[in-house]
Structure 1
Amino acid sequence: MNRISLYGTWQSPITSELIVSTTIGIGAVTVDGDDLYWLEIRPTEKGRNLLVRRTGEGMVEDVTPAPFNVRTRVHEYGGGAFLVADGIVYFSNFVDNRIYYHTPGSQPQPLTAQSNRRFADFVLDRQRNRLICVCENHSDSGKEPENTIITIDLTTGEVATLISGSDFYSSPRLSRDGTKLAWLSWNHPSMPWDSSYLWLAKINSEGIEEAKLIAGGDQESICEPKWSKDGTLYFSSDRNNWWNLYRYLHDSTIEPVVEMAAEFAYPHWVFGLSTYDLVNSNLIICAYSQNGSWHLGKIDPETKQFYPITTSYTEISSVQATDQGEVVFIAGYPTQPTAAVKFNPETEVSEIFKTTGELELDTGYLSAPEAIQFPTENGLTAYAWYYPPKNKDYSAPATELPPLIVKSHGGPTASASVSLSLRIQYWTSRGFGYLDVNYGGSIGYGRQYRQRLTKNWGIVDIDDCVNAAKYLVQQGKVDGNRLVISGSSAGGYTTLAALTFRDTFKAGASYYGVSDLEILAQDTHKFESRYLDGLIGAYPAEKNLYVERSPIHFTEQLTTPVIFFQGLQDKVVPPNQAEMMFQAIKAKGLPTAYVTFEEEGHGFRQAENIRKALDSEFYFYARVFGFEPADAIEPINIFNLD
């Protein structure tokens, strides 16, 4: 029988323990002959990444044994941490940054010597018995790390520099006949989604020759170069405002393969991204994003015909063609667990071969996202996904409106995901509304929408989060007196800035967020060390802007409770960012809490810490807004609550 109970007090089967004990992360699906490989991120193994194989006969087995952790720290965010070729696995081990080679059934053996180098984005050069990959050298502690493209001899492990001179490199891609190499580069102060360059050269055992720039520029971003069997080079470019597919022909001309108001690429936050692959000379299978949601499509590169494929997926990544003419990828759904899928382009039949968890939940507990568009500053429109409260066992009193959590996503050059998140469902099944905002600067809406945040971080993102919340209040869907904002990393900055510089929200949660932009500009890793040039302005020349937009300098304006979560090993946003703000709010007498995790970095991976953070945030809101949760939650120390 449906019970009447206040929002926030609903009993839910979606507990933090269920989330961490029954779900894993999956990613980076790849193909080797008849075998499929993918990474699993297991919170119950302290967030270890391990490689799993499914043989052509359907047998599934773990490949990399404990304690090996298949992960790289190049650019700190990693990705592209392994390569499988002819049954041999080459991978970066997170603990020592060395490359290991591994034949299933044996113990991994080190290929590279112990050093201060980090490696990612591997390509096998069979003709010359070597790997080609990106290297980030941290040997000189007095300088920023040096990024290069290198070779590694598979017999001796000897490392040799192949390409150098730019600030950053990615995506070394060898042609099928082994005679040409393509790669991407970019330089400070640009991020790869602002400006990047596609290069092409002849390659031999001595090095490269006749290197030439074939695409890219100050106002063009290039992604995902790939070779066809006939030696044609494909890539994505946003030269027409959207990341569309192009190809470089043998006569050195570039032609579009598909032109649409849609994104066929992700921003280059991590290595190893793949949103399309060439099944054969007449067929490309691709993922593309429109209006914040991802879809699947077919392209005939010769006729330039595009064919959308109807599926229930809302997130698609890691697209890889098999030798049998099929395609594998990672697929997300709004109300089903994320899955690794094998897809037949001819029959359009899908087979799920791995999921992030066996979800045995009645859909009556799952809130489906609703796409909303709302008016924002300067007569513009912004976007968000709204998840209304939903629990089949409960209703709220007719006179009550639900509290709302506004999520400001990280990045900030990223987007709100619409694949099933049990962390979102944790909130909605307890009676909260949840609003995931794609503020100006988010991806999925073209380059011009991304550039709304240029010089305007701390303004546009805050305005859009505020206006999204106000829109739902005006629609009569949520309680304007119980608006919460929460975010991690860059989203944590937006959270703290919105709480400091606006009066819309009544509480907030900052996960490893930024409070002092000056310190961030002076103390962060190489990849993002000049990111703020584009988001705010050059430092120190425009120091005044950094001060004006830093919450730490204006705590006298802050009047709402805030909880902080921080990994003490975070190299992207160091712990002092949270500690300074926490101490200032505590001294001011506002309710606040600071929850730290000794072994966590930028993002939480260990089961116990994920559980603790989620329950602590809920406990904090319950005490601040004065309702009693249905579950017994371990208390945390909240200063100044009385």
Structure 2
Amino acid sequence: MVTTLPYGSWPSPLTADLLATGGTRLGSPRLVGREVWWTEGIATEGGRQAIVRTAGPVALPPAEGAEGSAAATDRADGVTAADAGPAPGVASAADDSQPPATSVPADRVTVLPAPFNARSRVHEYGGASWTVVPAPGPDGQGPLVVFVNFADQRAYALREGERPRPLTPVGPEVESAHGPSLRWADPTVVTLADGTTEVWWVCEDHTGGEEGPRPDADGATHIERSIVAVPLDGSAAEDPAALRRITPASRFVAHPRLSPDGTH
């Protein structure tokens, strides 16, 4: 029996809801110790960007010239040689140069709980929204995650299993910004000469800085962007004076990186 129907009316098991919620978007993979961490867009939670990790270590290929894979991948502090990077004390949010894993456990753990959403609005299209302070963290415990939350655009620190705590002050709502006036992106973990660990971010300020809200010469709202150091102790969450500006304000700032020797 032949069924004839008009164009566009053929019954299908594919619904709009199924198409909207049927896929998972993965991004920003990196190694933390011997675990793979990444972001995962959860369609059933409105596209929330969760930070996820493997439930166990991955198997890595031995490094060329190494006497054994353990020598190439293991350190007492749980950081791989690739995690350590070219300069001690520097970890980049966008460093994807780690060696590929040969096998990845199927089980995974969601590190960033709902409703937190690791997503930046700097430049509106965003930038890197999270990174990890490798174990041991500044307090001697396991990895510390730092991320920017989409709803309020504040930077937070998160120890797995604990509630995130804010690192940056509240950015007052500004009409021209259509949301929070302070935004953060592209975190880079830096250890200073005195052993203090802090995070350098691209900060986008819609308040106009010290001069307050004002238009630029072209009539657009004045926005300042600069690289700002944020302490990990949370002091800047209540005291903006604890923030330290590293660079002068500029119209466009993105993807800050330290030189291999850490001098510039």
Distance in 1 between the 2:14 and 2:260 partners? Answer: 48
Paired residues for 1:199-348 under 5 Å: 202=264
Map of 1:261 onto structure 2 = none
Shift of 1:103: 1.2
C-alpha contact (below 8 Å) 1:72/1:120 kept by paired residues: yes
RMSD between aligned residues: 2.2
Kept in 2: contact 1:117–1:138 (CA 8 A): yes
* Corresponding residue of 2:129: 81
Alpha-carbon offset, residue 68 of structure 1: 1.1
- 1:541-560 deviations in whole A, cap 9, x for unaligned? xxxxxxxxxxxxxxxxxxxx
Q: Is the 8 A contact 2:147 2:156 kept in 1?
A: yes
Q: In structure 1, what residue type is equivalent to 2:206?
A: H
Q: 2:204 aligns with which of 136, 144, 151?
A: 136
The change in CA–CA distance for 1:165 and 1:100 in structure 2 (over 3 A counts) is closer
Give 3-state SS (helix, strand or coil) of 2:228's partner.
strand
Q: Which amino acid aligns with 1:152?
A: V
The answer to whether structure 1 residue 68 and structure 2 residue 116 are counterparts is yes
How many angstroms apart in 2 are the aligned matches of 1:2 and 1:27? 46
Which structure 1 segments of 5+ residues have no match? 180-201, 203-642
Alignment partner for residue 118 of structure 1, among 160, 183, 186?
183
TM-score, normalised by the number of residues in structure 1: 0.27
Return the match for 1:92 from 143, 148, 162.
148
Distance 2:2 2:32 in 1: 52
Amino acid at match of 1:168: F
Whether the 8 Å CA contact 2:22–2:43 is kept in 1: the answer is no
Amino acid at match of 2:24: I
1:246-291 CA distance string (max 9 Å, x none): xxxxxxxxxxxxxxxxxxxxxxxxxxxxxxxxxxxxxxxxxxxxxx
Residues 186 and 254 in structure 2, CA contact (< 8 A), matched pair in contact too: yes
In the alignment, what sits opposite 1:106?
A: 162
Residues 101 and 4 of structure 1, relative CA distance in 2, 3 Å threshold: same
Aligned-pair distance for 1:163? Answer: 1.2
* 1:147 equivalent in alignment to 2:225: yes
Q: Within 2, Cα distance between the matches of 1:165 and 1:99? A: 19
Return the offset for 1:118: 0.7
**Displacement of 1:160:** 1.3
Provide the rounded CA distance (Å) in 2 between the counterparts of 1:134 and 1:22.
Answer: 34
Residue 28 of structure 1 deviates from its aligned partner by 2.0
Match of 1:294 in 2: none
Question: Is the 1:79–1:121 contact (alpha carbons within 8 Å) kept by the matching residues of 2?
Answer: yes
Rounded to whole Å, the distance in 1 between the matches of 2:151 and 2:158 is 17
CA-CA distance at 1:2 after TM superposition? 7.8
Displacement of 1:36: 1.5
Partner SS for 2:200: strand
What is aligned with 2:262? 178
- The 1:12–1:129 alpha-carbon spacing in structure 2 relative to 1, beyond 3 Å, is same
Query: Among the aligned pairs, what percent are the same residue?
Result: 36
Give 3-state SS (helix, strand or coil) of 2:230's partner. strand
The answer to whether 1:163 aligns with 2:164 is no
How does 1:336-415 map onto structure 2 within 5 Å?
Answer: none
- Match of residue 10 from structure 1: 10
C-alpha deviation, 1:125, in angstroms:
0.6
Equivalent pair of 1:125/1:178 in contact (CA under 8 Å):
no
Shift of 1:165: 4.3
Match of 2:262, SS state, is coil
Task: State how far apart, in whole Å, the 1-side matches of 2:23 and 2:111 are.
Answer: 19
* Alpha-carbon distance between aligned partners in 1 of 2:249 and 2:132, rounded to the nearest angstrom: 29
Letter in 2 for 1:70: A
Query: In the alignment, residue 67 of structure 1 is paired with which amino acid?
Result: P
Match of 2:22 in 1: 22
Unaligned runs of 5+ in 2: 59-104, 135-142, 172-180, 216-221, 237-241
Query: Does the 8 A contact of 2:41 with 2:48 survive in 1?
Result: yes
Give the number of the structure whose residues are more often strand, by fraction: 1
SS in 2 for 1:95: coil
Aligned length: 180
Q: Measure, in 2, the Cα distance between the counterparts of 1:2 and 1:40.
A: 44
Q: CA deviation at 1:4?
A: 5.3
**In structure 2, distance between residues paired with 1:109 and 1:2:** 63
Give the whole-Å Cα distance in 2 for the aligned partners of 1:79 and 1:165: 18
> How far is the alpha carbon of 1:19 from its aligned partner?
1.4
TM-score normalised according to structure 2 size: 0.62
Work out which of the two has the higher radius of gyration on C-alpha atoms and give 1 or 2.
Answer: 1
Deviations along 1:455-478, one digit per CA (max 9) or x if unpaired, are xxxxxxxxxxxxxxxxxxxxxxxx
**Does the 8 Å contact 1:63/1:104 carry over to 2?**
yes
Cα distance in 2 for residues equivalent to 1:2 and 1:173? 65
The alpha-carbon deviation at position 89 of structure 1 amounts to 0.6
Cα offset for 1:23? 2.2
- More helix by percentage: 1
